[in-house]
Structure 1
Amino acid sequence: MDERDWLILKALYEKKNITKAAYQLYISQPSLTKRIQHIEKEFNTVIIERGKRGVQFTPQGEYLAKCADEMLLNLQTIRETVLNMSEEVTGTLRLAVSNYFTLHKLPKLLKLFRKKFPLVDFKVRTGWSRDVFNLVYNHEVHIGIVRGDYQWSDAKCLLFEENLCITSRDEIKLVDLPASPRIDYGTDPALKAIIDNWWSRNFSGPGTIGMEVDKGETCKEMVINGLGYGILPSVLVDQHQELHKIKLLDEDNQPIVRKTWMLYHEKSMEMNLISEFVRFVQTLDFLQDL
């Protein structure tokens, strides 16, 4: 079996449909069917059966399909290792990045890095920080950039810190928060827990949710237009001098900060591409240069 065969098994197992798998892989249905027959002949077993509900995998086929991710990752690692034997910095850098960082900092960062190393390509996955953490933990990406503190025992680098603050267009007092309309927004569980814990320490009852929006950027725009207050990371609102901000404080009356980390495996620094990227990021002042 070659890489194409493992990709076929992976796609077919996910789609459970010959037509959809062929479309995803940009090949014809007859070609896909022929490759499946070739795999079955190689292992001397039936791996799929067709029914009214689409493709059904036999136990042998399901086992092979579940091996596909591991085999594809091994092939990718082999390819990267061979490329790394050259002194030239080349290859594909696989990144997983939190949503905020992707929107506000990643494009400039990758542009600067590619300017220095033009032969480098990027494969980027974005999402909530918890998902990013899992991707780098499971070696599915080379480097993860997360917001918040996670139990990570391997190599990491602190990129920057931000305060959490109550933000409003008009001045507001803490005592008035429970009765004031708050604009809530979707965020990762870690940040939500920080905000909820702060609230429970300071107020005996729930607040008044006047609006629920998809993300922090939308919340900020609603606040700017006077539709309520939001509890937001300072990096979203620092440039808006017209807004009123109150920093959240912990039990010791110290500002509550949220850190952004770059996570990676120390062993991966043996690869030129990854070591160069890590060193490049460490030389940047993220709040000024990006």
Structure 2
Amino acid sequence: MGKLVTLPFIIFLICAFWTGIPSVSSANENFTFTIEEVGKNTITQNYGKPKYVDVEGEFAVMNWHENPGAIFLYNISDPKNPRYISHVQVNNGPNAVRIRNGYAYASLNTGYLIIASLNNQNITITGSRDFGNQMFNLDINDQGTIAVMAGTYASDGLVIIDTTNKANPTQLSKTGFPAGGVDLEGKYVFITKYDTSELRCYDISNPSAPVLINSIKVGTMIVPVRVYGNYAYVQEYSINKMHIVDISNPSNMRVVISDFGIPGVVPNGGGVVVDTKAELMFLATGLNGDGKVSIYDIKDKTNPKMISQYVYPNKEIINMIAIND
């Protein structure tokens, strides 16, 4: 008997507009499920290039990567009718955005970190500061007191910021190298050094003095990284390859599978292109068109098996986050 997996809803980020998704069903001996559109919101306020979406509770935030760009706030308490609330304009389009405890955090091409408060009436910028050059990605700890950013310039790299005072974020440390993706998990930061294609792990128990725990060569030029449980999922920049790394022992990271072929190029920049739920992996691909959403059985991390795929009909560029029940 197959195991029924229910996904309450999945948010797809489209290059130009939210679009209708016909129902897609798929099954193998282990999983049975359906991908279908639950709701959509088509308000754009004439902005283009949506790049990233994050969700917390009833709120979703999305960044529009133009110059000027914007951060949009939605209420998604009714998934069938996601409601646009408000937006703030941001110059030199934000690369990535996160929500923690009622605040949105965005990293910019100009090196700025922007912090905005969220409520059901408005999104309001509460603080911003320049921390270097181009900041490609960011993550926030669960308490919302520490932000980590990945700077693409060799002078930036891992930038750690105290965000306790939302009006006045302050730099705690900076470890210079060309960085691309970053994920903060407890006291550990996992960050990619894209020029040498390394996945690095830093202990930031003392955020003013991060300690390099381990570094491992992965692939050719890795940028995005996301950690779920004992595994890091890293993707190549502009080629259709990804890798899975066992990080259960951060001092001895180990590549589980390398150069795993995926059905398209991952969106570059600060987007989340992979998410997991139980024994499923959700992957969004589609740089410069050919948008796809693929679902894999990853019970055996050494042999991911595609069990469903949706191909967007109009060659949209997509990004995605899966909302767990």
Common fold by TM > 0.5: no
Q: Looking at both structures, which has the greater relative contact order when contacts are Cα pairs under 8 Å and sequence separation is at least 6?
A: 1
| Shorter-normalised TM range | under 0.3
In terms of fraction of residues, the more helix-rich structure is: 1
TM-score by length of structure 1 reads 0.23
In terms of fraction of residues, the more strand-rich structure is: 2
TM-score by length of structure 2 reads 0.21
Larger radius of gyration between Structure 1 and Structure 2? 1
